Structure 1
């Protein structure tokens, strides 16, 4: 029997973002489930300023996040438990979007027997010992649209924070451009309403030492989003090149979508066509 698919969203999103993809996958006869990343979805905790207990402008930039203690270890432990449950202890194919990439990498390194195929959808796929956050500071990320949206000092608050309570139309338009540039505006507006403001900085700070017997032995596919303004195509190419240089015996398969950062909303059928055969 083909391994089930486990779909993992990126920062600020939730398992809901796969709702347009899942029907196509299931209709093709593949078992699949979407799960929440640590600090997100049903595991999210919203800061006081966002829920109205503290409404001062300063609080947006200074309130310590309720998910500040979430680490890459925590996220990997949660995803491992989800994978074990879905697969019944057997291997599954994991599709990770954006900042879920380093979590998938940690799980595949520690328990490669649980990951039949690691799929990175415009995701951070960090090299051995390199934190994902380092890639946001590289030249390949210089023109990314997410960093200017952040509304805090991550070292102080413990989170990468979006000001989702703002009524500034310019900010909201820039958020739309960064994440949903080719998504129908009505659908993008609905998705924006489901975002949570804080992404745990600890997930981006953690590192994983990669080995031939661990992550290096796992089959992997990278799905490039050619119009991505969040994880830029040049950075996506760098991530693939680094992985292939480190593990040339197990090269990365690459598929390209002519999409922005959120193809699960702009072209869900095409995403399903890519990931459904990967076992």
Structure 2
């Protein structure tokens, strides 16, 4: 989100980016990472703040949903960016099984011994960033890490009273090979979404069209 964050800060907003355990530069052992680890990280980052707009991309759609269940009164709205949009009892794996349009399945390896989900490097660009500059695609393929497996199989526990009370925005990504546009549309139709935006991007509009993404987030921040 490095290309989006400065645009939000320039308009006077405080922006907190949460690097989930086991991702990026964080080397926490997968054995120590649970879905609740992610939820707790976000809740800790929010602290006592209120009127928070919480943006979740991809798998983080489940994370922000569980955060909303825990602290609904501190949140102004949830923004699902090309994200999993769950109901109570859903996990990322259960939602992914319903997505025939995703390119992940044919390039995914499950390493049960190490608790990791691994996507073949040669498929990274197509799955995540087909519209990114080539140098970015090469960088992603070289640096992407395996995903901790346990959180992907964990089901969310959501209620109408808490999660259901928080306003929700969805940003579609039409040319998405990770969570297909068809799957996104299905989840939105089945969920309670207050407003929908659409970007003609891959799964990573913060790379290919950060200005347009920032514009949407700013509109929803008013």
Fold equivalence (TM over 0.5): yes
Residue 69 of structure 2: aligned partner = 109
Residue 19 of structure 1: aligned partner = 2
1:163 Cα shift?
Answer: 4.5
1:179 Cα shift?
Answer: 0.8
TM-score under structure 1 length normalisation = 0.74
Residue 226 of structure 1: aligned partner = 174
Residue 80 of structure 1: aligned partner = 43
**Distance (whole Å) between structure 2 residues aligned to residue 266 and residue 108 of structure 1:** 29
Asked if 1:122 corresponds to 2:71, the answer is: no
State the secondary structure of the residue aligned to 1:151.
Answer: strand
In structure 1, runs of 5+ residues without a counterpart are 1-17, 46-65, 165-171, 245-250
**Distance (whole Å) between structure 2 residues aligned to residue 263 and residue 72 of structure 1:** 25
CA contact (8 A) 2:125 2:140 kept: no
**Distance (whole Å) between structure 2 residues aligned to residue 20 and residue 205 of structure 1:** 31
Match of 1:148 among 100, 106, 114: 106
**Distance (whole Å) between structure 1 residues aligned to residue 74 and residue 165 of structure 2:** 12
**Alignment root-mean-square deviation, CA:** 1.8
State the secondary structure of the residue aligned to 2:214.
Answer: helix
Superimposed CA distance per residue, residues 89-123 of structure 1 (whole angstroms, 9 cap, x where no aligned partner): 32311111101111111100111122211111001
State the secondary structure of the residue aligned to 2:157.
Answer: coil
**Distance (whole Å) between structure 1 residues aligned to residue 82 and residue 100 of structure 2:** 17
Q: Across the two proteins, how many residue pairs are aligned to each other?
A: 221
Residue 259 of structure 1: aligned partner = 201
**Distance (whole Å) between structure 1 residues aligned to residue 144 and residue 130 of structure 2:** 16
**Distance (whole Å) between structure 2 residues aligned to residue 121 and residue 227 of structure 1:** 13
CA contact (8 A) 1:130 1:208 kept: yes
1:142 Cα shift?
Answer: 1.7
**Distance (whole Å) between structure 2 residues aligned to residue 20 and residue 193 of structure 1:** 20
Larger Rg: 1
Residue 136 of structure 1: aligned partner = 96
Match of 1:37 among 20, 23, 30: 20
| 4+ residue segments displaced more than 3 Å | 191-194
**Distance (whole Å) between structure 2 residues aligned to residue 145 and residue 183 of structure 1:** 17
In structure 2, runs of 5+ residues without a counterpart are none
State the secondary structure of the residue aligned to 1:160.
Answer: strand
Superimposed CA distance per residue, residues 28-61 of structure 1 (whole angstroms, 9 cap, x where no aligned partner): 332212220122124334xxxxxxxxxxxxxxxx
TM-score under structure 2 length normalisation = 0.91
